[in-house]
């Protein structure tokens, strides 16, 4: 985890605030910030990581909804994972840290 200097994003707000907001409503705000932010790699990293992580978890929940018997348990587990990741990722973004999740984080870093 490395810290980033707290500069401005191309959207006119502090980079750490823009990064936090990219997680606010999961992959939706991640997508918005990834499209709108053109310069700040810190914001783009967190936005792309939000898109991938929460997009995947959303799809996992949808698929689990079609599974008889175990679907409800999987949805519950996915929901718990989402809440935990959401809180941790928002805190780390606010602190100005790159928290690279396994596989996803490395991809997001390379593409941001």
- Report yes or no on 3 lying in a domain: no
What pLDDT is stored for residue 4 in this prediction? Answer: 60
What pLDDT is stored for residue 3 in this prediction? Answer: 64
Over residues 21-41, the pLDDT tens digits come to 999 999 999 999 999 999 999
What pLDDT is stored for residue 6 in this prediction? Answer: 66
Instruction: Measure Cα distances from 34 to 7, 74, 75, 96 in Å.
Output: 17, 29, 27, 17
Q: How many domains does the chain have?
A: 1
The partner residues of 14 in beta bridges, in order of sequence, read 8
What pLDDT is stored for residue 1 in this prediction? Answer: 60
What range defines the domain where residue 40 resides?
Answer: 15-111
Mean pLDDT of 3-20: 84
What pLDDT is stored for residue 5 in this prediction? Answer: 54
Show the tokens assigned to 31: 């997508």
- Report yes or no on 6 lying in a domain: no
Measure CA 2 to chain center: 17
Q: pTM to 2 decimals?
A: 0.90
CB 5 within 8 A of CB 35: no
């Amino acid at each position: 985890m490395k810290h980033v200097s707290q500069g401005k994003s191309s959207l006119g707000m502090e980079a750490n605030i823009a990064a936090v907001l990219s997680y606010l409503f999961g992959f939706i705000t991640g997508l918005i910030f990834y499209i709108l932010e053109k310069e700040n790699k810190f914001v783009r990293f967190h936005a792309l990581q939000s898109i991938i992580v929460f997009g995947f978890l959303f799809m996992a929940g949808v698929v689990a909804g079609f599974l008889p018997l175990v679907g409800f348990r999987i949805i519950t587990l996915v929901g718990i994972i989402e809440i935990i990741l959401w809180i941790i990722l928002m805190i780390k973004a606010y602190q100005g840290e790159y928290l690279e999740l396994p596989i996803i984080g490395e991809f997001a870093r390379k593409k941001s």
